[in-house]
Structure 1
Amino acid sequence: MSNQHIPVPMVDSHQFRRRLIKQGIIISVIGIALAGMGIWQRSNATTQLAQVAAQSAIPSVSVITAAASNETDTLVLPGNLEPLNSAAIYAQTNGYIKEWLVDIGDAVKKGQLLAILDAPELLHQLAQAKAAYATALAEQHNAQSMADRATQLMKRDSGAISRETVEQRVRDAEAKKAAADAAIANVNRLESLQAFTKLTAPFDGQVTSRTAQIGELVVAGTSSAKPLFTISDTRLMRVFVHVPQHYVTQIRAGQHAELSLPEHSDKTFPATVTRSTRAVDVTSGSVLVELQADNTQGELMPGAYAQVSFTLPNTQDRIRVPGSAILYRDQQPAIATIDANNIVQLKPVKIGRDEGTRVEIVAGITATDRIITTPPDAIRSGDEVRVVE
């Protein structure tokens, strides 16, 4: 078998080199294009990310427009009920409780007997005082008789008695009279104390406390003395309310109010403003106001707690905002408002009354302000916000 030779074509080295260069250029262009596209995509993604981040940095807020309230203002404040008159009945003399005739809750009339004290020591003192008065009176009569006789003898000018003796007997009679007067004054004092063994009601009312116990020793005139009874006139009740200074000018004598008590949840009681202290308490910043309420039915109790509702004159300069709109900067209340460009401005405000879900603003904002309902804690004046519906 003979060997066959396959012819090998001859390749032009220059042509081959140009082809390689051309292919390299094409690959390079493609590579540069791909790299440029990657760079462009990355740059575009970075720009979009920056835009998203910038948009995310702008807080979204809800906004309302402030408006003056046309509602009738009702001011509700706590009050305490007290009787029109109340008297603590103390013992005026030492003694033992012999008998008590009334108890708590009893109605009493003026002058009615409440209790009787047994004062044996006082009785002994009174007996001694009467005996001393009788002795002093006898001595006065004797001294006066001797002075009268001496005076008569002096007038006869018989020389039976000297002028000095007459003057001495007259002065002695005057001294004895003074002693008798002192003795009867002591008798009267002790008789007055004896009258104090019967404790009586100073006015018509109701017994609201009693500490007297049968056989108990009471000592009068000491710092530890306690009242045996308390009598209260509850036919008309006094209601005391501390009104904040801001509302004082809207509370006037003759103004009507309503009382709400927890034990009478189904009804209210009318009351009328009678007077005020017309002085602001420096501690609470309020003025004490008194109202009176009829209690002929006896439904109101002394010492009770009540909610007092005042109907205030309607004013157009008060704005109510959600309680969540209030911020506190340096312990001062403020509200975040925005302008036409959604730029924040914090405005210090003065709060009139906190109603819980709403707060009454009496100064600091106007009825045209746009108010952020729930501002972020970190919000500051000059910040930009995005308003959402």
Structure 2
Amino acid sequence: MKYLIPLILIFTSLTEACSVEQHPADLTSSKQKKSTGTAQLGRICCGSFAASVKLPGQLKPYEQVSIFPKVSGFVKQLLVDRGDFVHKGQVLAKLEAPEIESQLQTAMSKYDQIQQTAAASRERYTRLKEAAKEPGAVAPLELDMAQARMKADEAAVQSEKANLFSSGSINKYLTITAPFDGIIVQRNVSEGALVGGNKASDPPMFILEASGKLRLEVMIPEDYVDKIDSKHPVSFSFNALTGKTFTAQISRMAKALGSERSEAIEIDVPNAQQLLKAGMYAEVDIPLSSPTQSLIVPSSAIVRSTERMYVVTEKNGKAHLVDVREGLRKGDSSEIFGQLSGGIPVMLHPTDDIKENEPIH
């Protein structure tokens, strides 16, 4: 008998615990949970919906190039270093390669020699042609051979001229110049180093970045790709520049999704004052607009539970739960998609306690 009362108490506790009704967790904010004494109703609006989304972006150089030597040689002189601003065509370094310089000298000598030979052939043919005016002074065969010799020497002159031009062009490769205005952000060689070994693992001599204009790259998630409003300017700011907000138009779009199911867009950012640097991160406010007419409700009208997302509409004084999918959001309004239409009454502050066909007071 002394064990009977504790057993009865334990059984009663278990019975009460099992009889508690389990509800899915209500993710709706506490502001939405109003008193159920009097239902607050509104109507679903239909119209165009414009909003924006804030996404991270990163500044990248507008142009960037790794500078490699075109020929093999030793670094004779370095004229720039990391951080130096250079102009297009400015000499960055000079190389020396004795074999290339020797080839140029040989080509020059051959060209001079063949020019003299061609000049002698031309002079001989001219004299024979003048003498041939006297009948019987010069045999026709001898004149033809002199003419053929002259043409052959002239052809050899053109060949050696092309060879000299080629050797001269290769010799110019010993001088490394900047392809555009920018900043040397990396220098990987020192004087006396052998470069141009044609090894894939060899680093570039310099890395040059254009700094007068930068590219702000933003990755747009797939859900927002078709909603980007490219007609309106984009605003963005940088943590490193507190209090400064920049605006610019979207310059270009990738028109394809990347590996992370997002589309890259680029915004050209002028940087004449050199305030910005490649690699800086920005918070970008991208304008969005719905391409079609949207159904719009207050955000408080949407019930978000662990099982579903829905709104509670009213028909003949009774509640009807309609599943929806939320689109864009701006302020206290949200764009929704579902089996609904504009003008339908909707409960403004529903909770997940409301059941289907439950009377609405």
**Same fold by TM-score, threshold 0.5 exceeded?**
yes
Matched, 1:206 2:183: yes
* Structure 1 unaligned residues grouped into runs of 5+: 1-48
What is the rounded CA distance, in whole Å, between the counterparts of 1:312 and 1:268 in structure 2?
23
Of 101, 108, 115, the residue aligned with 1:137 is 115
Contact 1:206-1:234 within 8 A present in 2 as well: yes
> What pairs up with 1:3-14 in 2 under 5 angstroms?
none
Matched residue, 1:188: 165
Matched residue, 1:77: 55
What is the rounded CA distance, in whole Å, between the counterparts of 2:234 and 2:153 in structure 1?
69
Q: Which moved more, 1:362-371 or 1:83-92?
A: 362-371
In structure 1, give the amino acid aligned to 2:88.
Answer: K
Matched residue, 2:281: 305
Q: Deviations over 1:49-93 (max 9, x none)?
A: 9xx96x947889777778779998332122231233334333232
> What pairs up with 1:150-161 in 2 under 5 angstroms?
150-158=128-136, 160-161=138-139
Contact 2:183-2:210 within 8 A present in 1 as well: yes
Change (3 A) 1:219 1:58: closer
Q: Secondary structure at the match of 1:141?
A: helix
Of 346, 349, 353, the residue aligned with 1:369 is 346
What's the RMSD between the two structures over aligned residues? 4.4
Change (3 A) 1:359 1:328: farther
Change (3 A) 1:386 1:131: farther
Matched residue, 1:251: 230
Contact 2:65-2:208 within 8 A present in 1 as well: yes
Matched residue, 1:27: none
Q: Secondary structure at the match of 1:301?
A: coil
What is the rounded CA distance, in whole Å, between the counterparts of 1:283 and 1:374 in structure 2?
39
Q: Deviations over 1:26-69 (max 9, x none)?
A: xxxxxxxxxxxxxxxxxxxxxxx9xx96x947889777778779
Contact 2:215-2:266 within 8 A present in 1 as well: yes
1:181 Cα shift? Answer: 1.6
Matched residue, 2:205: 228
Contact 1:143-1:176 within 8 A present in 2 as well: yes
What is the rounded CA distance, in whole Å, between the counterparts of 1:223 and 1:374 in structure 2?
65
Change (3 A) 1:183 1:297: same
Contact 1:113-1:199 within 8 A present in 2 as well: yes
Matched, 1:337 2:337: no
Change (3 A) 1:350 1:103: same
Contact 2:324-2:336 within 8 A present in 1 as well: no
Contact 1:351-1:359 within 8 A present in 2 as well: no
More helix by share: 1
Matched residue, 2:9: none
Q: Secondary structure at the match of 1:156?
A: coil
What is the rounded CA distance, in whole Å, between the counterparts of 1:240 and 1:81 in structure 2?
6
1:125 Cα shift? Answer: 0.7
Contact 1:271-1:291 within 8 A present in 2 as well: no
Rg larger for: 1
What is the rounded CA distance, in whole Å, between the counterparts of 1:214 and 1:350 in structure 2?
63
Contact 2:301-2:349 within 8 A present in 1 as well: no
Contact 1:271-1:292 within 8 A present in 2 as well: no
Q: Deviations over 1:88-113 (max 9, x none)?
A: 33323221112212112112233332
1:168 Cα shift? Answer: 2.8
Q: Percent identity?
A: 21
Q: Secondary structure at the match of 2:60?
A: strand
* Structure 2 unaligned residues grouped into runs of 5+: 1-14, 34-40
What is the rounded CA distance, in whole Å, between the counterparts of 1:303 and 1:194 in structure 2?
37
Contact 2:49-2:289 within 8 A present in 1 as well: no
Of 131, 150, 168, the residue aligned with 1:173 is 150
Q: Secondary structure at the match of 1:174?
A: helix
Matched, 1:111 2:93: no
What is the rounded CA distance, in whole Å, between the counterparts of 1:343 and 1:159 in structure 2?
126
